[in-house]
Structures are given as structure tokens and as C-alpha cells.
Amino acid sequence: MDIWSRFTGKTKVPEEEEQGIESSSPSQPTTTKVSSIFIYPIKSCRGISVSKAPLTPTGFRWDRNWLVVNSKGRAYTQRVEPKLALVDVELPTQAFDESFHLQNDSFMVLKAPGMQPLKICLSKPHEVADGVSVWEWSGSAWDEGAEASQWFSDYLGKPSRLVRFNNDSQVRPVDTDYAKGHRTMFSDGFPFLLASQGSLDAVNQHLEEHVPINRFRPNILVEGCEPFSEDLWTEIKISSFSFLGVKLCSRCKVPSINQATGISGPEPNQTLMKIRSGKVLRPSGKDQNKTYFGQNMVWNWKGCYGKRNDNVVHVGDPVYVIKKVTSAAEAAA
């Protein structure tokens, strides 16, 4: 059984046979490489740019492990609370070493305008919060306690709590129509999001004021490929790690929110509707009014091409496209 079938439960004719596409070999030279890695420890709060990040089946270590919720346990995101964009998150540098072990003095530090810094111990809390929900998923989570609750309640001006995904007892599977057998924590839908510098540059060519990549909140930014070529990638190798491109990333309000100010405007969403809508990219498909930027991925941890002593992706790692489709209209979305 091939990789696609094993992880999606669907039978798929190899693309090189179906469409005449040649699969690239991992031994061939490539100009595409990882240029940046971003981790977002708290969903919808500011990301951290790192030089390396350990892989886990649910995403990079620490990515979307925490979530701010309202009094009913429902997730807050920038869609309704854009002030979350101004919450700075700091983790110890050594937290991104694969050999990192939690100590009693290991903390995550939060900062926001008008607020005193808040320290969150990285050791697991003892309280459990039931009835936590994000999109289609609901379950229990670790509650980070009264001090964190008061901090976010004061900052947002409404009752709030900070919770941490309880991976000891909870599982959040991704949409099985796209990636059967994979799971995530508090991300919108999939454990990894990849975008390219070329795609960002192409969008910015249409804008009077250029936007930075933080508007799109990817985990992996690559360079050295054609604009929007990541739309087509269905199997990617980064260094020795295999990833499956499973779904074009449809965009919401968040790219319109300035991540430095928390203020929203018409761009780049207005431009995306003109050049990256379903009507433009997938004229015979559904969701004509959705816009797309980036590729959602899962780590094909059973399909590695080589053996390494660690599970760490580094800035500068080469990127190989192993399989792809011929157009965005043929990509899953």
C-alpha cells in the first residue's frame, strides 16, 4: 500500500503514471530550502521565529499547545479578539533542543501592552478544565490556573482562561477526508502549514503596502521555488523527513490583521480574492469565494527516506518535491 493510501484510506493512482509527472529524487540537487521556522505556543498569539524545531506527530514541539478560552470554554482567536496578536510569547532557547527536559524553573513568559509579564510553568498543571472546545473538537484540557485566568481576563476585558492541551488523555484527529490517522492540538485543522517566500512576494507585487509573512502564520517558510508552487505539492521531503501536502489552506480574516498593531484592514484579503480565490484557481470546484495561501501538511513519520539521530527540522534544510499535481484545480482544498 502506498503512502497516500496508508494515511488517507483512499486508493490513488501514482501521479507520475496518471498525469505524466516525474517524481523528483531526494538525491537530486534542489534550490528550495527552509528559510524560516515559526512556532505559535498559544493559539492566535504571536509566534516565535526559531532556527530549529523538533517534530512531533501533532506538529512542532510547543506549537499551539495552549489556548485562551471564554467562560464557556470556547476558543478565542484573532478573528474575534485581534488583541491576541499583541501577546508576546517567550520560551527558553533550549526548549527547542530535542534533548530538552522540563525543570521546575522552566517557564513560558507572556507580555502584552499595559500588562505585567506573566510566567507560566512548563511543567504540567494539576487542574483540569472540562468542556474546552475549538472548532469541531471538544474535550478536557489542563487549566493554567487563577493567575493566568486573571491576566487574560484583564487584558481582553472579559472572563478568560488559559488552557493547555492534555495529550495524556485527549486526541484531536485531523479531518479524515484529507489525512486519515493524523492528529493535531489546537491548530485550526492540521499540524503544519507551509508557505513560500515567492508566494508572499507575488502577493506583495499587487499591494501598495507590503505585508510580512506573519500575516499568514505559517510554520515553515521556504525559498528558492516559483510563486505558489507549494499549491501543487502532495509529497515533500525536508532534509530526511517526509511530509504530505493534504489541503490548500483557505484563509479567514486573520491575514487582514496587522500583527504589530492588532488593527485590521482590507488587505491583503481584498487582493487575495482577486488573484487567489476558488473562482480563479478552481473555477469548476466548490467554495468559489474562499481564498487560498499555503499548503496544510502532516508529517509522514512512517515514510522517512533516511535515518537521523534526531527529529529536528533546521533553517537551511533542503526541500525536495517528491510528488505533485499539475494545477491548483487538482489539489485537495
Distance in angstroms (rounded) separating the CA atoms of residues 171 and 212: 33
CA 213 from centre of chain: 13
Residue 157, judged by CB atoms within 10 A of its CB (0-12, 13-18, 19+), counts as exposed
Report the length, in residues, of the chain: 333
Comparing C-alpha atoms, which of 48, 37, 31, 106 is closest to residue 321?
Answer: 31
| Nearest-angstrom CA–CA distance, 314 and 311 | 10
| pLDDT value of position 314 | 98
pLDDT on residue 36: 98
* Contact predicate 35/221, CB 8 Å: yes
What is the structure's pLDDT at 27? Answer: 61
Q: Which residues partner with 172 through β-bridges?
A: 184
Which residue type sits at 99? S
Separation between Cα atoms, residue 182 and residue 186, nearest integer Å: 14
C-alpha 238/C-alpha 30 separation (Å) is 11
Dist. CA 324–CA 236, nearest whole Å: 9
Spatial contact of 330 and 45, defined as CB atoms under 8 Å apart: no
Q: How far apart are CA 300 and CA 278, in angstroms?
A: 28
Question: Cell 513560558, residue?
Answer: 108
Nearest CA-CA partner of 255 in 246, 270, 268: 268
Distance CA 85, CA 257 (A): 8
Q: Which pLDDT score is estimated for 308?
A: 55
Calpha distance 303→215 (Å, rounded):
32
Torsion over CA: 296, 29, 225, 260 (sign)? positive
Q: Which residues pair with 120 in a beta bridge?
A: 108
CA 120 to chain centre: 22
Mean pLDDT of residues grouped by 10 in the chain (333 residues)? 36 37 62 98 98 96 98 97 98 93 88 98 91 96 97 98 96 96 97 98 98 98 98 97 98 98 98 98 92 97 61 97 97 96
Model pTM score: 0.90
Backbone angle region of 315, left / alpha / beta, with phi > 0 → left and psi within -120 to 50 → alpha: beta
Q: Around Cβ 280, how many Cβ atoms within 10 Å?
A: 15
**Closest residue by Cα to residue 114 from 157, 165, 79:** 157
